[in-house]
Amino acid sequence: MNALLNSFLDRAKECYELKELERLGLTPDLDQREQILTYICLLYKWNDTAGLIPESDESILFLRHFCDSLQPLLLFGFKKGATVLNLGASNGFPSIPIRIFRPDLSFVLQESDAEKSSFLKAVKNELEYENIEINEDEVSGLQKESKKFDYVISREYETLQNFSGVAKPLVASDGHMYTFKTDQFANELDFITNNKETDGIRISEIAEYDLGNQIMGLNLVSLELVH
């Protein structure tokens, strides 16, 4: 670990909760533990300038953000060697936690905010992740490239309609779009179901989960194209 991060290491160790990973069925090896601690140190180091985590969430950072980010991997999964696009990657959730446990995946982290994209570059460089690309374009720039991904994921979009509309041109024909519970969840599910033929997107799976018996009633949605 970079010596400049040592001043954040005690906080990172205090934040890290192995029991929560074991509760999810994950037992990180020493290298993965080092990656997790390094990532948390970087989050603390950059948080003041980049606004990565709300101050109110710092005490539950590991559970609310790191463990939550692993849910697409645990509940839905990713095929081996898949390509993953993280829209609005911001603080690296959910991609960085997933990458720690699935180094076979290739990621593009799209983030147009300069400060946040600089943070993501720092994470990539510090963890030496060659299979991660940081894309600083607006989403429209990605869409113009006509590149397709096996999975498009995000924790940042306010509505399912907004996310699915942006993700649709970027996902492969047999791919999936994963996103997390939104504010008007039930109404948005109904809208997508009622408009699946016109919009070309349908819900393939909904998973409800809790985090550590502390944060309850969360949801993850998998969407796919209608053919």
State pLDDT tens for residues 183-195. 788 888 899 999 9
pLDDT at 110: 96
Specify the DSSP class assigned to residue 119.
Answer: H
pLDDT at 89: 96
How far is Cα 2 from Cα 211, in angstroms, rounded to an integer? 31
How far is Cα 123 from Cα 90, in angstroms, rounded to an integer? 12
Mean pLDDT over each residue of the chain, to the nearest integer: 93
Token representation of residue 198: 């016109």
Counts of helices then strands in the chain (DSSP H, E): 12, 7
Domains and CATH numbers, the chain: 3-175 (3.40.50.150)
pLDDT at 111: 96
pLDDT at 32: 98
How far is Cα 48 from Cα 86, in angstroms, rounded to an integer? 23
| pTM, full prediction | 0.95
pLDDT at 149: 97
> pLDDT tier at 200 (50, 70, 90 boundaries)?
very high
Lowest mean pLDDT among 74-88, 95-109, 211-225: 211-225
Average pLDDT over residues 164-174: 95
Ranges of beta strands (E only) in 37-165 are 83-86, 106-110, 132-135, 149-154
Residue 144 pLDDT > 80:
no
**3-state SS assignment for residue 109:** strand
For residue 221, the cross-strand partners are 179, 206
pLDDT at 14: 94
How far is Cα 109 from Cα 99, in angstroms, rounded to an integer? 12
